[in-house]
Amino acid sequence: MSTRENYSPTAVIPSDARADVARFVIGIAEKTSAILSDERTSAILSDKKTPVILSERSESKDPYTCPRSHPARSARENTPPLCHPEPASRANISPICHPERSARSAFPSRLFCGTGGRAAEGSAVSSQWRKIFVVALLCLLTALAPAQQITPWNKIQAPPLPAFTPPQPTRVQLSNGMVIFLQPDHELPLITATARIRGGSISEPANKTGLTDLYGEVWRTGGTKTKTGDQMDDFLEAHAAKIETDNQSDSTSISLDCLKNDFDAVFAMYLDLLHSPEFRDDKLQLSKAQMYTLIARRNDDVGSIVHRQSLIIAFGKDNPYSRVPEYATVAAVTRQDLLNWHQQYVYPNNIVFGITGDFDPTAMEAKLRQAFESWQKGPAAQTPDIKFTEPKPGIYFVRKADVNQSSINLLDLGIERSNPDYFAVTVMNEVFGGGFSSRLFNKLRSEKGLAYDVGGGVGSGWDHPGLTNFEMQTKSATTVEGIQGLDDEIDDLMKNPATPEELKRAKDDILNSFIFRFDTPEKVLREKMAYEFYHYPLDFLERYRTEVEKVTADDVARVAHKYVHKDRLAVLVVGNDAEFGKGLSTLGPVQNIDITIPPPPPGLMGERGPGEP
pLDDT digits (tens, 9 = 90+) for 176-191: 999 999 999 999 999 9
In a domain, 319, yes or no: yes
In a domain, 1, yes or no: no
Domain-ending residue, one of 372, 407, 429: 372
Q: Please list the residues that pair with 309 across neighbouring strands.
A: none
- pLDDT above 80: residue 55: no
CA distance linking residue 571 with residue 575, whole number of Å: 13
E strand or H helix at 465, and its extent?
A: none
454 or 118, greater pLDDT: 454
- pLDDT above 70: residue 242: yes
- pLDDT above 50: residue 248: yes
Domain-ending residue, one of 338, 372, 406: 372
Mean pLDDT over 64-73 rounds to 40
Are residues 87 and 200 located together in one domain of the fold? no
E strand or H helix at 567, and its extent?
A: none
Res 157: pLDDT? 76
Local structure of residue 476 (DSSP, 8 states): G
- Which amino acid is residue 572, in one-letter code? L
Min mean pLDDT across 64-68, 168-172, 317-321 is at 64-68
Res 327: pLDDT? 97
Res 69: pLDDT? 41
Are residues 141 and 254 located together in one domain of the fold? no
In a domain, 613, yes or no: no
Give the 3-state secondary structure of residue 200: coil
- pLDDT above 90: residue 24: no
Are residues 133 and 57 located together in one domain of the fold? yes
Are residues 132 and 183 located together in one domain of the fold? no
Res 603: pLDDT? 82
Are residues 91 and 140 located together in one domain of the fold? yes
In a domain, 385, yes or no: no
Q: What is the 3-state secondary structure (H, E, C) of 68-113?
A: CCCHHHHHHHCCCCCCCHHHHHHHCCCCCCCHHHHHHCCCHHHHCC
Res 198: pLDDT? 98
Res 514: pLDDT? 84
Do 61 and 116 meet the contact criterion of CB atoms below 8 Å apart?
yes
Question: Count of domains in the chain?
Answer: 3
Are residues 429 and 474 located together in one domain of the fold? yes
- pLDDT above 50: residue 72: no
Do 565 and 414 meet the contact criterion of CB atoms below 8 Å apart?
no
Band (31; pLDDT cuts 50, 70, 90): low
Res 136: pLDDT? 66
Band (160; pLDDT cuts 50, 70, 90): confident
Mean pLDDT over 551-580 rounds to 97
**Conformational region of residue 532, where left means phi above 0, alpha means psi within -120 to 50, and beta covers everything else:** alpha
The dihedral through the CA atoms of 54, 56, 62, 68 has a sign that is negative
Res 75: pLDDT? 39
Mean pLDDT over 343-348 rounds to 98
Which string of b and e fits 3-39 if b means at least 16 CB within 10 Å?
eeeeeeeeeeeeeeebeeeeeeeeeebeeeeeebeee
- pLDDT above 60: residue 148: no
CA distance linking residue 236 with residue 156, whole number of Å: 53
- To the question of pTM greater than 0.85 for the whole model, the response is no
Give the 3-state secondary structure of residue 186: coil
In a domain, 105, yes or no: yes
Local structure of residue 492 (DSSP, 8 states): H
- Which amino acid is residue 612, in one-letter code? E
Local structure of residue 536 (DSSP, 8 states): -
Mean pLDDT over 249-269 rounds to 98
- Phi, psi of 71, rounded to the nearest 5 degrees: -55, -45
Res 51: pLDDT? 44
Tens-place pLDDT, residues 569-582 = 999 999 999 999 99
> DSSP characters for 406-460?
EEEEEEEE-EETTSTTHHHHHHHHHHHHSSTTSHHIIIIIIIT---SEEEEE--E
- Phi, psi of 163, rounded to the nearest 5 degrees: -60, 140
Are residues 458 and 544 located together in one domain of the fold? yes
CA distance linking residue 254 with residue 4, whole number of Å: 67
What is the span of the domain harbouring residue 117?
9-147
Are residues 309 and 455 located together in one domain of the fold? no
Do 76 and 66 meet the contact criterion of CB atoms below 8 Å apart?
no
CA distance linking residue 254 with residue 233, whole number of Å: 15
Helix, strand and coil percent figures for the chain, each rounded to 5: 50, 15, 35
- pLDDT above 70: residue 141: no
- pLDDT above 50: residue 486: yes
Close Cβ partners of 207 (under 8 Å, ≥ 6 residues apart)? 329, 332
In a domain, 378, yes or no: no
Determine the distance from the C-alpha atom of residue 289 to the mean position of all C-alpha atoms in its chain, rounded to a whole number.
30
Output the domain CATH number for residue 404: 3.30.830.10
Res 29: pLDDT? 59
Band (138; pLDDT cuts 50, 70, 90): low
- pLDDT above 50: residue 70: no
Are residues 282 and 181 located together in one domain of the fold? yes
CA distance linking residue 6 with residue 228, whole number of Å: 80
Find, among 502, 100, 103, 533, the residue nearest to 351 by Cα: 533
Domain-ending residue, one of 147, 181, 206: 147
Query: What mean pLDDT is reported for the chain?
Result: 83
CA distance linking residue 221 with residue 233, whole number of Å: 9
Band (107; pLDDT cuts 50, 70, 90): very low
Min mean pLDDT across 84-88, 240-244, 461-465 is at 84-88
- Phi, psi of 183, rounded to the nearest 5 degrees: -130, 90
Are residues 220 and 348 located together in one domain of the fold? yes
- pLDDT above 70: residue 321: yes
Are residues 120 and 185 located together in one domain of the fold? no
In a domain, 164, yes or no: no
CA distance linking residue 138 with residue 136, whole number of Å: 5
Strands 467-475 and 405-413: antiparallel
CA distance linking residue 483 with residue 394, whole number of Å: 12
In a domain, 601, yes or no: no
CA distance linking residue 48 with residue 40, whole number of Å: 10
Q: First and final CA of the chain: distance in angstroms?
A: 80
Are residues 106 and 191 located together in one domain of the fold? no
How many other β-carbons are positioned within 10 Å of the β-carbon of residue 76?
Answer: 9
